[in-house]
Amino acid sequence: MQQSSISMGRAAYQHYIPPNFGYVENDLYRCGQPNELNFPFMEKLNLRCIVWLAPEEPNQNVMNFVDDQEIQLHHLGVLESGNASDPITEDMILEAFNLILDKQNHPMAIMCNIGRHRTGTVVGCLRKLQRWNLASIFEEYRRFAGPKVRLLNEQFIELFDTDLVRIPVDPPEWL
């Protein structure tokens, strides 16, 4: 059976978008680690900053892309234990928010290896700061996490104290 040109076009186009790519807010994106096929798409975002949440460094191709595009990379994912399955910390979230809420860093992307758990937790905490209801926050988290939902991350989002976040004098319009 022959596949329609529309579905073939979508399949081909998806190879150019990084895994778990999503629009969070104006000039704020989320995704997993991009590969060489994703770089032309990523270039169009005109990123100034990437918040990298994985414990390990991005691969060399990503590092080369960041250098070529003159993007600031902030590696926040380093954990004391070095265990990639350790949950994200409150300090990591607050450090990420210092970058995310600074309009000078935009356009920016929030990333981890696959763009599911650490990225989803940061975005979930941002949604809580934006006063989204928990059902909507968890729906968004689960949409990106797929079958690998981590209840500890949802609990972290639910218990995250937004009063700890320093809001800048001139925050992004979406806050």
User: Where does residue 131 rank: exposed (0-12), middle (13-18), buried (19+ CB within 10 A)?
Assistant: exposed
Q: Does the annotation mark 125 as catalytic? A: no
Provide the b/e sequence for 41-68 (b: ≥16 CB within 10 Å). Answer: bbeebebbbbbbbbbeebeeebeebbee
Q: Strand runs (DSSP E) across the chain, as ranges?
A: 22-25, 28-32, 49-52, 72-75, 108-112
Q: Which is the catalytic residue, given 31, 49, 112, 125?
A: 112
3-state secondary structure of 169: coil
Q: Which positions are annotated as active-site residues?
A: 112
